[in-house]
Each structure stands twice: as structure tokens, then as C-alpha cells.
Structure 1
Amino acid sequence: MRRIATVLAALLLASTPTAAHAAPTGLTSTEVSFTGNDGVVLHGTVLTAASGGAARRPGIVMLEGAGNRGRSYLRPEAEAYARHGVVTLIYDKRTEGYSAVHRDFSLLADDALAGLRLLRDRPDVDPSHLGLWALSEGAWVAPLAANRSADVRFLITVGAVGITPAAQTAWAYGTYLRHAGVRGALPRTMRSTVVRTTIDLGLFAESDFDPVPAWQRVRQPVLAQWGRLDRDAVPGLSSRLIGGALDRGGNTSHTIRIVAGTNHNLHRTAADGFDRLPDLPADYADFETAWIADPARTAPSASPADEPAPPVFAAGDHAWVSSGVVLALLVAFAGFLVVGRRSRLGRPARWLAVLTPVTLVATYLYLMFLLVVAAKVTGPVVLGRPLPWLLLQLLAVATVAAAVAVATTWRRHRDLATAGRIRLGLLTATGALFAVWAVQWGLLLP
């Protein structure tokens, strides 16, 4: 569930801790700090042209995408805008109240507005040309901020997503795995079972956030941009959804722009959009700064690429998987401990007791690795499968074979003592439960 920030305390602006200094690029860099509504102090940098004169200039606050890379991640974009005469604030995203498993878009929106107020009070900023620039996850946050404050005079987004974070994440997994040459069960497992399980376990914050209602309430001028080679934001569908929401809300001052030859963050690409080069196009920020001065300005726009439809999720229907896996582990180890070495079923039983937890743990470790790298690093691909996944599938087949051997021999030896039959029966049930789990997670599928 989304946690909505309820703290209504007035924002307290802190004074800048260091003096401004001229950067070697011809820009002036000023370190600043400001305080969010919940008292968290945020630190940032304001970049301006070193020879800007006395006239007031437009200002933007830049919101980064998912994660917390720090203000340096957006420094190239900020410098490009500053060279075009825009006073630009970049800041370190909060760490208190924001992590890989906990985030609150409403709270992040309040942080952005706190930064905007800092710029508004600067003597070199024109409050009538003050807005937000947002990348990826930041573009889920920016419309919320725009709906709360008249200080936001315009929005510029890059790689905005028009669907829920869960659906977008699953779509991107499929996109990157297909690009790596991965086919078969693993893309389905990542797009469906893995995403649903993280939701059910409460590890996917804001998974069901629907951005469309917030966009429908935005009244400020909007420049929404996507790279033609964006492999993360479902650009075709997102551009249609966001543009449609703005139309339905009566916003007549919005521009939908698809930028040819660029990736998710509008950078140059040498890998058809599947890379993150630091290089900006030579004309970066030319159109954007002209648009700030005249939001009615338009430019030629590329067509978005064809893309598969993202999945739709309903949380809660896979929660049984986790409890089933835990049960399998407990029964497997219990079977290993209770079956004696001299039992006529000893060897198959021991193999099953060992293979079951090894396969389970190894599978979770590899899938966790794919989660951490957002499925962008798979390892060598053999027969349409990453080598680690292929080995896991072989382990799963061996585990099921051991389970069949245990079950077959158990049925043949009805002269076992009752206690022994119960113990080995539990281990046989473990094999059956493992097989169900392995099918669910794609290990026994092509």
C-alpha cells in the first residue's frame, strides 16, 4: 500500500553552507541544503551560468530515477541546462524513508516541492518560469508535486511510465532477457512469478501505483519525452496513456515528443538502447529550454517502437508459494535426518534430501541476482538459457528423478516398520511438493 505523507509542518529552508564558486566549465556551482516536510535535511547543488547577468532566469528542480545514485548522476544534464541559462537544482535523494523495499512517491513529491521553494526564493530565478524535470521514477513523483503547488509552472519528463511499477518492471525484464537471447521459461518466471512474489512478500513498494489519475489532474504545461530506443519505460504505451490522461483532464498545453537515436534517459546509445552511456546528444537541452520560454513550441517527433503488451498483476494469488517452499525445505532436511544409512531406501532418500534444499536455495540466489541487476546481466546463454539457469533446471530434473526413485522403492517395500514408512512417506511428499514448486517457478518447463 502507498503510504501518504501526512506531516503538514511548514518547510524550513536552510542557508547555503558554502559560498558559490566558479566551475571550470564556465558555470557557477553552489552547495545548498533544504528541509523536507518530515524534517529530513536534503543536500544539493545549484548550477547557473557564470555570466548570467542580473536578469532573472528560468529554474528547474531535477528528480532522478529509481535508486539513490546521488546528485552527480544528473550532473551532465544539469550542466547542459545551466549552460542554456536555466538555474538548475540537483540533490541527493533521501535515504530515510527511501530504500529498495520502501518508497513513498508522495513523500518524494514533498521533497521536490521543498527544493522548488528554495529556487523560488533565489533572486536570480524567475518564479513564473519555475518547474520540475523528472526522469523515470521521478516522473511518477512529479505529477503529484504539480497537483499540490502553484509554484510548479511546468513539467518536463524523460522516460515517464504510464503503467504501474509492477507491470513496467515485468515488461522491462522481458525486454532485456529477450535482448540477451534468453527464451523459454525464465522470462515468464521473472515477469510473473518473481514479480508477484515480491509483491506478496511486501518487498515491492508502490507496486500498484497508477500514474494516470495524477496526470489527468495536471494543468501546467507539460513536455513529456521518450527516447525512441527506450527499453525500460514502455514508451509507446506510456506516451499514449499520459497524453490521453492530459487530454481528458483538459490540459491543452502539452507536447509528446519521441526523440530519435536516444535511450531511456535521452542519452546517446551504442547498443540499440540497451546501454547507459554518459554521452549526451550534441543538441541536448536545446529544444527543452526553447520550450520553457514558449510551451506552444513543437518539433518533429519520431514514432515509438513496436512493443509487447505489459502484464497485469493482481497481488495475493501467489502467496502460497513461499509457505510451500518453506515446508519443502523443512521436510527435506527432516527426511535426511531421520532416514538411516542402512535403510533400503537410504541412497535415493539422501539424494533427495540434499538436492531439494540445494536447488531451492540456488534458484532463489540466482533469481535474487537477476532482481538486483534488473535482468540486465544474465551470464553466458546456452540453448536459449543463461548457463546458471540451465544448471538449475538440470538440478531440478535430478531432484525429481530422486523423488521418483524414493516413491517407487517405497511402494515396493511394504514390509518396512510403520515409523520408517511414515518417515519415507514424508520425504516422498517433499519430492511431490518440490515438483509442484519447480513447475511454478519454471524449472521443469522448456
Structure 2
Amino acid sequence: MVLSAQPAHAAPTGLTEQEITFSSGDLVLRGTVLAPATPGPPRPAVVMVHGSGRVTRDGYRAEAEAFARAGIVTLVYDKRPRASRSDVDFSLLADDALAGVRALRSRPDVDPARTGLWGVSEGGWVAPLAASRSADVAFVVAVGAPGTSPERQQSWNLVNRLTAAGVSGSLVGTVSRTTLGLLVGAGLFPEAGYDPAPVLARVAQPVLGLWGALDRVIPGAESMRVFQEALDRGGNTRYALRAVPGADHTMRLSPDGFQRGDEVSPEYLELVASWVNGRAVEPPTGPLPHQERASAPVEAGSPGVQLAVVALLLAAFLGYASSAAVRRWRGPVRPARWAATTGLLSVLGLVAYLVHLASGGARDLGPVVLGRPIPWLVLHLLALATTAATAATAVTSWRARSALSRAHRVRLALLVTGGAVFVPWAVHWGLLVP
């Protein structure tokens, strides 16, 4: 229900704009309704459902104004705040979208039988879910909608992003599979395994699916195929699926899909406006967008095992380094100091670099040389040095065992054990892989 609405005013020219608040459960959401200023019979209406991240209604202002100018009453609203139960809970986000539909359907200038949902990116998961729950939704427009699970889509996105930055080699797999898999296993990637296909099979309303031909964020060809197969399986024949030439993930014109343009694709705006206003899209299903590589599943990692291994490595390397520092690094097993130092730097450096990449979406890699960011090259060299120094320590300590005290032999045994564990751990994280 609409809790409150401020008087409409003309802004911009030819449109009216009205600020409203409406309830979704115990949460109050704020939005803006844009509509044609010219009086007329009740019109079709659409609620715009956000993509991922901290998104406000301003992010969709250009599309909202274009739809309103085409005769569609349009609601854009601020996404639920992070302080609420979750801002990445698809079920709650679907509830918000349905609350928006109820708010629009109550307006005298809206035709309730022609009120639907528009969802972009993450909204392409949410809008069909909302439609599958309510007959109040008359149609669904899905823009850049993933047909894969979120973890699989994000892995594909990361491979594209790293490749576009000139990165090759082991770091690509380390970021897009190993690190992402660990986040999934730790429960730090909400809705990671969500499968959109069963939901799409339950959507009975007309569906317009649009994908940018230059989309580098979601696997467009796979997603379009999933939409078609799922809707067919559910017996829904009222759909149109198209790729939009020259458009990126959010339907901005782009030269390559990576450089985001400012202009929204006019062809996309015309397709949406025409379809919502009742004109058929011909042909209903166009050719698949170009997709350079297939997406791949992401295996969930084991955070408990990784924490235990890191704790063991730190105990081995830091323990020996601390005791050696007290003794000013003197002793017959000189390679041990290098094994402890380089091993400690390798472990701490890898953790710090991966945390940095994960927190920034792998956007700030550092300078790339020969397909490798410089921090990654340094970590490679440290891992090689740790492996070589551990082997030398094992040989030297065995030869000098009679000259070593029992306590020193124990410290060396722990160090060599840590070095032996380090090798498969470093291979797992790509440090000893080209």
C-alpha cells in the first residue's frame, strides 16, 4: 500500500513526478513515480527493480524518463538499506518489488491489468521470482538477466575483467575460482547457488528478455538459452528474447562492453516501450549474443581447512624466525633463515593481496608485466624461494644433526614440515603454477 504521496509536479517537461513511500513488510521504501503529464485513460505501468550493490532510484533515471515519455507510468525506488535484514536476499527483494507493484496499481492513472516489472542484472533474478509469486504482475522485462547461478556468473565476470586488464596465467583461476570458491564456502557470497531456471519455468506472464550484445558481466548466450528452455518447459509461449547490438550489460552504448558509455541504447528503449505498450517484437527470438567463453561451475572451498593450514604455516615460519632473531640468525643451518623469512612473506603477502582483490572486485591489480601484476610476480618469486630454501634446510639440517641441540632440531623439524605443507598449499593458490 502507498503510505504517503507528495503532490505531483511537472518535472521534467511533459512529465509529472511524484515522491511516494510504500511499505514492504515492516520496511518503508521511498520512490519516485514518473508519468506523462497529458491526461488520458489509465496507462500501462512498470516497477524498476535494481541491480546489485548500493543502488538508488537515481541510477535508473534516464530509463524511467524514457519509459514515461513513451506513455508508461514508471516507479523507481531506493533499494532496501544494508541495515535491514539483508540487501542481497532475493526473496526479500522480490517482496519489495511486489510492494511497488501494489503501490502503482492503486493509482488512478494506472491500468492494474497492465502493471509489470522491469529488472536489470541482479533484478533479472528478482523480477521473475516476484512474478512467479503474484498474479498482480502483468509482465516481466528482464535486462541483462543472468541465466546462471550468482557464483557462476561472478566467476565468468572476473575472468573477463582480468583478461581485459592483460592478466594471464594462474592468477585468473586463483581469483575467479579458488578465492571465489572460498568465499562461497564461508557463506560470504549471498545467494551463491541460486538457480533461476526453476523459477523461470513457473513464470506464466509475458516475458521480454534483452541482453547487450557486448555484455561482459553475464554470459549472455547461455542466459538467453536458459530463459528460452525454462519458459518452454513451463509452457509459457508469450516471450520475446533479443540481443541488442552495441549495448553493454546495462544497455549503455559501448565500443567493447568494458568501456561504459553515457548514452542508453535507443533500440533497447524502443523495444521495451513498444512491447509494454502492446506491440509484438518480431522475430520473438533473435540470434544469441556472441559469447567468447563458457561459464564454469565454482567448487565451494573449505574455510576451516584453509585457516588450519595458514595457522600451521605461520606457526612454522614465524616460530623459527622469532627464535632465530633472538639468536641473531647464527647457527649451522643458514638456509633455514631464508625459508622462514620468505615463507612468512609468502603467506602474509598472499592473504593480503587476495583480500585486497576481493574487497575491490579485482579492479585494482597493480601494474601488469608479462601478463602478471607485479605483486603477483613478487609472490611467485617468494614462493619459489621458500620451496628452494626449505629443501636446502632439510638437507643441511640432516647433515648437521649431530651438532644441533634437541630444541634446535625440533624448531627445524617444524620449519621443514611447514615448508613441505607450503608446497601443495602454494600450488592450490597458484603461487607455484605459471
- Give the shorter-chain TM-score range: over 0.9
Unaligned runs of 5+ in 2: none
Aligned residue number for residue 408 of structure 2: 420
1:377 deviates by 4.3
1:66 deviates by 1.0
1:269 deviates by 0.4
**In 2, distance between residues paired with 1:243 and 1:406?**
61
- CA deviations 1:345-364 (Å, max 9, x no partner) are 57543433333333223223
Q: Does 1:393 align with 2:377?
A: no
Aligned residue number for residue 227 of structure 2: 242
1:385 deviates by 1.1
Distance 1:19 1:263, change over 3 A: same
CA contact (8 A) 1:182 1:386 kept: yes
Unaligned runs of 5+ in 1: 1-11
Q: Does 1:87 align with 2:73?
A: yes
User: What letter matches 2:195 in structure 1?
Assistant: D
1:284 deviates by 4.3
Q: Structure 2-normalised TM-score?
A: 0.93
Q: Does 1:190 align with 2:183?
A: no
CA contact (8 A) 2:210 2:241 kept: yes
Aligned partner of 1:292 among 256, 276, 301: 276
Distance 1:408 1:156, change over 3 A: same
Distance 1:345 1:289, change over 3 A: farther
> SS at 2:2's partner residue?
coil
**In 2, distance between residues paired with 1:316 and 1:391?**
25
- CA deviations 1:234-279 (Å, max 9, x no partner) are 0001100111100110001000111111111111003x10122232
**In 2, distance between residues paired with 1:408 and 1:440?**
25
Q: Does 1:120 align with 2:108?
A: no
Aligned residue number for residue 2 of structure 2: 13
CA contact (8 A) 2:215 2:248 kept: yes
1:334 deviates by 1.9
- CA deviations 1:164-191 (Å, max 9, x no partner) are 1111111111122222221111111122
Aligned partner of 2:58 among 72, 78, 86: 72
Q: Which runs of 4+ in 1 moved over 6 A?
A: none
CA contact (8 A) 2:333 2:396 kept: no
**In 2, distance between residues paired with 1:369 and 1:45?**
37
Moved more, 411-420 or 344-353: 344-353
User: What letter matches 1:55 in structure 2?
Assistant: P
1:33 deviates by 1.4
> SS at 1:14's partner residue?
strand
1:140 deviates by 0.8
Aligned partner of 1:143 among 107, 125, 128: 128
CA contact (8 A) 1:253 1:296 kept: no
Aligned residue number for residue 115 of structure 2: 130
Q: Does 1:430 align with 2:418?
A: yes
- CA deviations 1:5-55 (Å, max 9, x no partner) are xxxxxxx53112x43332244432222111212x12111111122x23132
CA contact (8 A) 1:196 1:318 kept: no
> SS at 1:256's partner residue?
strand
**In 2, distance between residues paired with 1:22 and 1:351?**
72
Aligned residue number for residue 370 of structure 1: 357
CA contact (8 A) 2:313 2:347 kept: no
Spell out the pairing of 1:19-418 with structure 2 (5 A cutoff).
19-37=7-25, 39-49=26-36, 51-95=37-81, 96-97=83-84, 103-270=88-255, 272-294=256-278, 296-299=280-283, 301-316=286-301, 320-339=305-324, 340-341=327-328, 343-344=330-331, 348-415=335-402, 416-418=404-406
1:401 deviates by 2.9
1:69 deviates by 2.4
- CA deviations 1:358-394 (Å, max 9, x no partner) are 3223223322333334334433321111222122212
Moved more, 72-81 or 128-137: 72-81
CA contact (8 A) 2:183 2:301 kept: no
1:134 deviates by 0.3
User: What letter matches 2:259 in structure 1?
Assistant: D
> SS at 1:132's partner residue?
strand
Distance 1:192 1:119, change over 3 A: same
- CA deviations 1:48-88 (Å, max 9, x no partner) are 22x23132111111111111121111111111111111111
Percent pairwise identity = 46
**In 2, distance between residues paired with 1:36 and 1:355?**
54
Distance 1:426 1:141, change over 3 A: same
> SS at 1:15's partner residue?
strand
**In 2, distance between residues paired with 1:131 and 1:225?**
16
CA contact (8 A) 1:63 1:134 kept: yes
User: What letter matches 2:64 in structure 1?
Assistant: A
Moved more, 341-350 or 221-230: 341-350
